[in-house]
Structure 1
Amino acid sequence: MSDNGLIHIVDDDRAVREGLGFLLGSLGLETETHSSALAFLDALDATATVGCILADVRMPGMSGLELLDELAQRQCPLPVIMITGHGDVPMAVKAMRAGAMDFFEKPVQGMALIERIKEALELSRSRSHEAFERAEIATRIESLTAREAEVARAVVKGLQNKQIAHDLGISQKTVEIHRHNAMEKLGARSAADLVRLVMAAGWDS
């Protein structure tokens, strides 16, 4: 898969799959087609981080809405755009509430869909970057000693070195050493930077 991301086209209608594949391919976008939701799930690479999904709502077996639910359970980060030939307002609302990024009726207006796909790919790249950052910071956090982690948590809570020393029953000088070591390991230049890093990692302070 290229760095630009992979667009998954999930539709039981072969003509639709081929038509969308040709349209997007002509713009230099990489696509992969799937004849059913189950076929797509079987082929889905759990490590894929950049891309998006175009899925028909009404398909034999697992429907597009059921696919949305399954993707949510798997915590799939790829944005989903729903397409249907039998759209109505309640269905669109249900799809959006289930996590769809947008909803298009067939025949799809090519330029409008392309613009939305580009936005979906940009969103996917942003999510991928954030996930990478969280994983990197989590690895740094795991490198902290138990005492360094205690001091870092206290700093994130806004406590001063004197209060941290009192709460942990250690000297203020020892707190300063652990604080320095923790910030160095985490790559934090200041207490504010430490808070930002911790929040980005989702570390419970």
Structure 2
Amino acid sequence: MLHIIDDEDVIRDSLSWLARSRSIAVTTYESADKFLVALNQPMQFDPQGDCILLDIRMAGMSGSALFDLLTARQLTKRLPVIFLTGHGDVPMAVDTLKRGAFDFFEKPFNDNKLMDRVQEAFAISMQAGANAAIYERLATLSTREREVLDLILAGKMNKVIADQLGISMRTVEVHRAHIFDKMQIKTAVELAGLLK
């Protein structure tokens, strides 16, 4: 989902049209405050990725201030930000990129280059979403399951794991089954690939 945040109707409309011409789903916000209201609702991230096109200078909260809030909430990997400005300068662009913005475009911009960067941002967002899902699954493991997991990843057989942890081989098998279930995989090879 492309989130367009700009206080100019004509910019929001033209960017929406441009995105839809590439079959990209779009939502628009006329201010940073309206986006924050939406963000504070239970939000579903798009499995195809998300990206924010953000005007730097807007009435009310600036795009730069919104970006600082997103950075503080550690959301800029899941919601990569591409800044747009009609008043940009090189130091401003360098500063936003150093602070973690995905890109910076000065108006007027090349439509195709902008949409290409949006697609690249979606890929980053999708990867961040996949990583977050893996960490959520890992968080469901018990301490003992984490110990068994580490030994599985080290290539240890069930008997060796049982000896190292001082538990029965049957208990290792039960932990292994729980790990595979919670991590949503079927084999140790899949597990290793998931956590590489």
Q: TM-score, normalised by structure 1?
A: 0.72
In the alignment, structure 1 segments of 5+ residues that lack a partner are: 1-5, 201-205
Describe the shift of the 1:13–1:148 C-alpha distance in structure 2 as closer, same or farther (beyond 3 A).
Answer: closer
Distance 2:22 2:156 in 1: 54
Describe the shift of the 1:74–1:174 C-alpha distance in structure 2 as closer, same or farther (beyond 3 A).
Answer: same
Shift of 1:29: 2.8
- SS of 1:53's equivalent? strand
Distance 1:170 1:24 in 2: 57
Shift of 1:104: 0.3
Shift of 1:189: 2.3
Describe the shift of the 1:154–1:129 C-alpha distance in structure 2 as closer, same or farther (beyond 3 A).
Answer: closer
Distance 1:15 1:176 in 2: 62
Shift of 1:34: 1.3
Shift of 1:73: 2.8
In the alignment, structure 2 segments of 5+ residues that lack a partner are: none
Task: Tell me what 1:67 maps to.
Answer: 66
Shift of 1:167: 4.0
Task: Tell me what 2:177 maps to.
Answer: 181
Which deviations, in whole Å up to 9, do the C-alpha atoms of 1:38-84 show, x marking residues without a partner?
Answer: 11111235222332110011123322122112112333312211011
Distance 1:88 1:41 in 2: 27
Shift of 1:110: 1.3
Give the structure with higher Rg (CA).
1
- SS of 2:82's equivalent? strand
Q: In percent, how many aligned pairs have the same letter?
A: 39
Q: Cα RMSD (Å) of the superposition? A: 3.1
Distance 2:45 2:145 in 1: 34
Counterpart check, 1:19 vs 2:14? yes
Distance 2:13 2:22 in 1: 14
Task: Tell me what 2:109 maps to.
Answer: 108
Distance 1:149 1:75 in 2: 26
TM alignment of 1:142-181, pairs within 5 A: 142=141, 147-157=144-154, 164-170=161-167, 173-174=169-170, 177-178=173-174, 181=177
Q: How many residues align?
A: 188
* Aligned residue type for 2:58: M
